[in-house]
Every structure is written in structure tokens, then in C-alpha cells.
Amino acid sequence: MQTMTSDELCSMEIINLCGGTCLGTPESLELRCGCDGCVITALIVPCETGVSAWLPFGKHTVWRIPWERVECIGEDAILVRLPPDALAGCCQTGRKRR
């Protein structure tokens, strides 16, 4: 087991083993914290395409990839297993951060 920072983790490409597609890089991590420490519960990955990805306003669509779907973390990539129906269920919409 190796130690890494959240910045290192968020700089890695996420590859879906179900189809081999690159989902991008995490923009943040979802944590569950308690008295005994914190645990990563999900990777938050932007899923906008086209012009909407670059606009600073409007809706912000992300994939929330549950940590249980992570198969392996390599030196430069995170491998996840998300069948197409599971990937569609990971999409969430909210307001863009400024």
C-alpha cells in the first residue's frame, strides 16, 4: 500500500474497464469523516462535453463514482468497473462553482 495526496489522486485519469473509455480526472473526492478518521466514499468527475464544459455558469454535471467501483490505482491511472447502466446512474447535476 502506498501513500498519496488528494492532488496526486485527482491528477490521474480514470479508465472504465467496461469498454476502456477514459472518464477524465477527478475534480474532488467525497469523504465520510468520523472520530476515527476519514474514508473516501466517491470520486467526483466532471462529465460535461462541448461548450457547456467551459462556461462558468449554468448547470454542472458530474459523475459520482462510488469508491467500491475502483478496481486498482496505478502510477498514472485509476481503473474502475462501471457497466453502462451504472455509469448513467452516477450522473448528478448541480450548480457550477465559481
Tens digits of residue pLDDT in 7-23? 999 999 999 999 898 99
pLDDT value, residue 9: 94
* Domain boundaries of the chain, sorted by first residue: 6-95
Give the pLDDT confidence of 41-88 residue by residue, as tens digits: 999 998 865 555 555 555 668 889 999 999 999 999 999 999 877 776
Which one, of 67, 58, 78, 76, lies nearest residue 31 by Cα? Answer: 67
Contact, 43 vs 27, CB < 8 A? no
CATH domain 6-95 topology: SH3 type barrels. (2.30.30)
pLDDT value, residue 19: 87
> How sure is the predictor about 26, in pLDDT bands with cuts at 50, 70 and 90?
very high
Model-level pTM? 0.78
pLDDT value, residue 62: 86
Contact, 43 vs 70, CB < 8 A? yes
